[in-house]
Amino acid sequence: MDLTYELIFTVFPYLCLATFVVGHSYRYITDRYAWNARSSQILDKKSLFWGAVLFHVGIILTFLGHAGGLLIPQKYYDLFGISSEMHLVIAHWMGEVVGIAAFVGCLLLLWRRLSNKRVRAAGTLNDIITLGALTLVISTGVYNVFFGHYNVLYSVAPWIRGIVFFSPDPELMRPVPLSFKIHVTAAWALLGFSPFSRLVHIWSVPLFYFFRRRIVFRRKPLGAIGKAGFGRFEAGGKEG
């Protein structure tokens, strides 16, 4: 047994996972007022749009792709006629598209955080570390997709399943190229760091939005406002 591999590819992932689960639960229970994305939209809306949209679409699809591609064993894809070659081609092309979206979005957000005076003044070092760590994880992921040319289905994928299902085997990571090792280690570190950052908001998917009752907004012509009278509401909210 190689102690270095054991520490990096078994002990470290479990430390990060435990911090992730306990940290997010603890913050949800004890710190609900700070449980949000700490939006900076009010400080500068224009420069946020493309960065936030590209990043969020890219990263959410990347998560789904990782979950489907790595956690579900190849034998189940074989049942549906998706060979490992086909699986890799699909993962490659999807990875290029969503990875580039996440990467460009992340760089735009990082650039905004560093260059916009108002956003920078209201932000914290933690915000910059979060975006910096995301940039490292995403850039190594994109590098692997474009230049890695390595079959992860029989090495990285079973290793991750081993961690998730409590039968870790760090030896599976031995033949894996360095750029993949950096990517997975940085990703575990980011998971461990996430409860201490604004990333707690990843759980706040506004699903209720699709089921809530509709709110009707009506635009009133200016004349109508005059007739109905602003005077109905005097300063201080008292009805006249």
Residues of this chain that interact with ligand HEM (CB under 6 A) are 37, 39-41, 48, 52, 56, 59-60, 109, 113, 130-131, 134, 199, 201-202, 204-206
Q: How many residues does the chain have?
A: 240
Q: Which residues contact 170 (CB under 8 A, 6 or more apart)?
A: 2, 5, 6, 8, 9, 10, 159
- Least Å distance, CB 12 to ligand HEM, is 19
Q: Which residue, 160 or 173, has its beta carbon nearer to ligand HEM?
A: 160
Nearer to ligand HEM, 37 or 164 (CB): 37
CB of 30 to ligand HEM, least distance (A): 22
Q: Which residue, 115 or 151, is less far from ligand HEM as judged by CB? A: 115
Give yes or no for a contact between 140 and 89, defined as CB atoms under 8 angstroms apart: no
Q: CB 187 → ligand HEM: shortest distance, Å? A: 10
Distance of CA 67 to the CA centre of its chain: 13
Give start and end residues of each alpha helix (H) in the chain. 3-6, 12-30, 48-66, 74-79, 84-115, 117-122, 125-143, 156-164, 178-193, 222-228
**Which is closer to ligand HEM, CB of 41 or CB of 151?**
41
Cβ 97 to ligand HEM shortest distance, Å: 17
The torsion of the CA quartet 85, 104, 12, 169, rounded to 10 degrees, works out to: 0
Residues facing 233 on adjacent strands = 239
- State how far the alpha carbon of 206 is from the alpha carbons of 21, 49, 211, 235, in Å: 21, 19, 10, 35
Q: Which is nearer to ligand HEM, 125 or 224 (CB)?
A: 125
The distance of closest approach from Cβ of residue 107 to ligand HEM in the complex, given in angstroms and rounded to an integer, is: 11
Q: Are 65 and 94 in contact (CB under 8 A)?
A: yes
Least spacing, CB of residue 45 vs ligand HEM, in Å: 9
Q: Which is nearer to ligand HEM, 87 or 113 (CB)?
A: 113
